[in-house]
Amino acid sequence: MIALTIAELARTVGGDIRLAPGDTPDTVVSGAVDTDSRLIEPGGVFVAKPGAETDGHLFVGAAVERGAVLAIVEREVEAEVSQVVVADVVRALADLAREVVARVRAGGDLQIVGITGSNGKTTTKNMLARILQREGETVAPRASFNNEVGAPLTMLRVTHATRFLVSEFGASGPGEIARLAGLVEPDVAVVLMVGLAHAGGFGSIEATFEAKSELVRALRPGGVAVLNADDARVARMAAIAAERGASVRWFGRGPAAQVRADDVEVRADGTTSTVTFAGETVRLDLQVLGAHHVMNALAAIAAATALGVALPACAERLSTLEIAERWRMQPLGSDRVRIVNDAYNASPDSMAAALRTLAQITRPDQRMVAVLGAMSELGESTGEEHDRIGELAVRLRIPRIVVVGPEARRMYISAIGEGSWSDEAVFFATADEAYDYLMGELRDGDCVLVKSSNSAGLRFLGDRLGESFS
């Protein structure tokens, strides 16, 4: 965080100061801000956030032991550290992030990119950060820090030397992206797709469209909206961009895209394509598996070129990205049994893309195995969408379909209904049961996909399989 006095910080968040011995209102703090006491470093600021399972106020002492010099709290606690007492620490975190970013922006050349979409946010964020970090100091979220706590924590990492801030915006309901993006007013807004992911929180696909379009509405006047030309709902956001006085840069596979990919080929060691922009064409070699990641790369390239990065530089830097993120199409195992662990998140679109990738990267002399768990937050579409994935797995001729968890059982039933024979499709209630089965079933030459939503916990099953066959 940039340097602020305790008094400045307290005014920003509307809090009351409780000073520790030796501190004054003019004492300067400039350390990193965090809600996790285990991550606090000397000079840091600890935000004592109450939670569903525990209360950050219980860990103020632990934060002080790790070097915290200030705590933002909702009630004063007994600890030898200065405290700023506020009514709501989450709102205070947002207010502090807004002020810090505004100060950095006013005194330098900070440019801000916001990314949202039903799928691909974290991958696109990582790809864009990889491109931009060679241009100057770049701040991007750790993992999927994209909610009301994670997004402000990322914003608070900017300094006066930061040139680019890449913010990822997720949402579990209407208005959340508007609040978070409104803290910074991005120069570039990237919208990847509008799909059924988290539809349960919005109620309908149209409500999801409205929520994702909040990022475009938050653009600074004169900014750039980077929109998916292949997604009809995203394309409708061009009118919103025009209302903001923003220009549009289109990406996609179709002829309407300004940043376009052709000749996409998915192989076991990565994905290749040719990318065209402004009359220039380059080869893009991604180590990341899956044709769907080409779209994420196009979005990152469209945003980077809008910020002045040359197309060849974008392609060269993306070629160095080994995996999108842990548990996202992560190659594990060995040449004997290859594991692709993609069980951090799942929606109908990403589940289908992962299954198609499995079919594309498996050689004729190898066997495909799909280990599938539940997709969460689909609302009233839950049953129907799980049916479709079970049917798709059979239509892709995947000879071993292993469904795990009661919430995913309809995938198994629909696979049987689609014509899966004998033991081609099996069901297990727990990941441990599935692991025991797979350790007896998998053989040399198998290519295994592990795919589910985070809540299903199959990412850990993927890790176990990867370690067993490494």
User: Looking at 318, 340, 371, which one is the last position of a domain?
Assistant: 318
DSSP letter at 169 equals -
Q: In the 8-state DSSP scheme, what is residue 375?
A: P
Whether the per-residue pLDDT at 199 is higher than 70: the answer is: no
Domain count, the chain: 3
pLDDT mean over 11-23: 97
106, 162: one domain? yes
Q: What's residue 68's pLDDT?
A: 97
Mean pLDDT, residues 20-34: 97
In this predicted structure, the answer to whether residue 456 has a pLDDT above a threshold of 60 is yes
pLDDT at 398: 95
CB-CB neighbours of 150 under 10 Å: 20
Same domain, 202 and 309: yes
**CATH code assigned at 41:** 3.40.1390.10
pLDDT of 328 reads 78
Write out pLDDT tens, residues 150-170. 999 999 999 999 999 999 998
Looking at the structure, tell me whether residues 142 and 40 fall in a common domain.
Answer: no
Residue 390 has pLDDT above 90, yes or no: yes
Statement to judge: residues 269 and 334 lie in one domain? no
Kindly state the DSSP code that residue 381 receives in the 8-state scheme: G
Task: Assess whether 305 and 170 both reside in one domain.
Answer: yes
pLDDT tens for 249-273 read 999 999 999 999 999 999 888 899 9
pLDDT of 470 reads 86
**Does some domain include residue 157?**
yes
The CATH number covering residue 133 comes to 3.40.1190.10
Q: Is the pLDDT of residue 201 over 60?
A: no
pLDDT tens, residue by residue, 393-406: 999 999 999 999 99
Using one digit for the tens of pLDDT, what is the confidence trace for 284-318? 999 988 888 999 999 999 999 999 999 999 999 99
Q: Do residues 281 and 141 both lie within one domain?
A: yes
* Per-residue pLDDT, 11: 98
CATH number for the domain harbouring residue 452: 3.90.190.20
The confidence score (pLDDT) of residue 174 equals: 86
Which structure tokens are listed for 192? 């990847």
Q: Which of 375, 366, 374, 422 is nearest to 394 (CA)?
A: 422
**Domain with 174 in it:** 92-318
**pLDDT at 437 > cutoff 90:** yes
Confirm whether 397 is domain-assigned.
yes
Return the closest-CA partner of residue 259 out of 286, 282, 293. Answer: 282
Assigned domain for 372 exists: yes
Domain limit, last residue, from 291, 318, 345: 318
Q: Is residue 325 part of a domain?
A: no
The predicted model gives 39-50 an average pLDDT of: 96
* Local confidence band at 176 (pLDDT 50, 70, 90 cut-offs): very high
Distance CA 293, CA 265 (A): 12
Whether residue 78 sits in one domain with residue 96: no
209-214 CB contacts, 8 Å cutoff, 24+ apart? 209/233, 209/236, 210/174, 211/171, 211/173, 211/174, 211/175, 211/176, 211/177, 212/116, 212/117, 212/118, 212/171, 212/177, 212/237, 213/237, 213/240, 214/171, 214/175, 214/177, 214/178, 214/181
pLDDT category at 35 given cuts 50, 70, 90 is very high
What is the C-alpha separation between 217 and 210, in angstroms, rounded? 10
Mean pLDDT along residues 54-82? 96
Task: Count other C-beta atoms under 10 Å from residue 396's C-beta.
Answer: 17
Q: Which of 318, 351, 378 is the last residue of a domain?
A: 318
Q: What percent of the chain has pLDDT over 70?
A: 98
Task: Let me know: does 164 contact 309? Beta carbons within 8 Å.
Answer: no
pLDDT at 227: 98
Tell me: do 82 and 143 sit in the same domain. no
In this structure, are 214 and 351 located in the same domain?
A: no
The pLDDT score that the predictor gives to residue 202 is 61
Mean pLDDT value across the chain? 93
Where does 86-139 show beta strands of DSSP type E? 111-116, 138-139
Whether 324 is in a domain gets the answer no
Q: Quick one: which H or E segment has residue 407?
A: none
User: Average pLDDT of 420-441?
Assistant: 92
- Given a cut of 90, is residue 207 above it in pLDDT? no
Residue 111 lies in a domain: yes
At residue 44, does pLDDT exceed 60?
A: yes
Q: Tokens standing for 401?
A: 């379909």
The residue that leads in pLDDT, 321 or 5, is 5
pLDDT at 143 over 60: yes
Structure tokens given for 262: 């052709």
pLDDT at 146: 82
Does 138 fall in a domain?
yes
Band of pLDDT at residue 196, cut at 50, 70 and 90: low
**What is the pLDDT confidence band of residue 319, given thresholds at 50, 70 and 90?**
very high
Same domain, 312 and 369: no
- The predicted model scores a pTM of 0.85
Considering the domain boundaries, does residue 323 fall inside one?
no
Q: Rounded to whole angstroms, how far apart are CA atoms 182 and 193?
A: 21
pLDDT of amino acid 203: 62
pLDDT attached to residue 327: 76
299 and 372 housed in the same domain: no
268 and 406 in a common domain:
no
